[in-house]
Amino acid sequence: MPTSDLASARPEFVVVREQGRVVAAGALERFGACALLRSVVVTPDRRGSGLGHAIVLELERLAREAKIERLFLLTETAAGFFARHGYQLMERSAAPPDVQR
Query: Which pLDDT belongs to residue 47?
Result: 94
* Within a domain: 101: no
Query: Which pLDDT belongs to residue 75?
Result: 86
Domain CATH for 59 = 3.40.630.30
- 81-85 long-range contacts (CB < 8 A, ≥24 apart) are 81/52, 82/56, 85/53, 85/56
pLDDT tens over the chain, length 101 residues? 445 544 445 679 999 999 999 999 999 999 889 999 988 999 999 999 999 999 999 999 999 999 999 999 988 889 999 999 999 988 888 888 877 77
Query: Which pLDDT belongs to residue 8?
Result: 44
Tally of CB atoms within 10 A around 38: 23
Range of the domain at 17: 6-94
- Return the SS3 of 62: helix
* Within a domain: 83: yes
pTM: 0.83
Query: Which pLDDT belongs to residue 6?
Result: 45
* Within a domain: 72: yes
Q: Where are the alpha helices (DSSP H) in the chain?
A: 6-9, 51-65, 79-83, 97-100
Q: What is the DSSP letter of 82?
A: H
Please tell me the total count of domains within the chain.
1
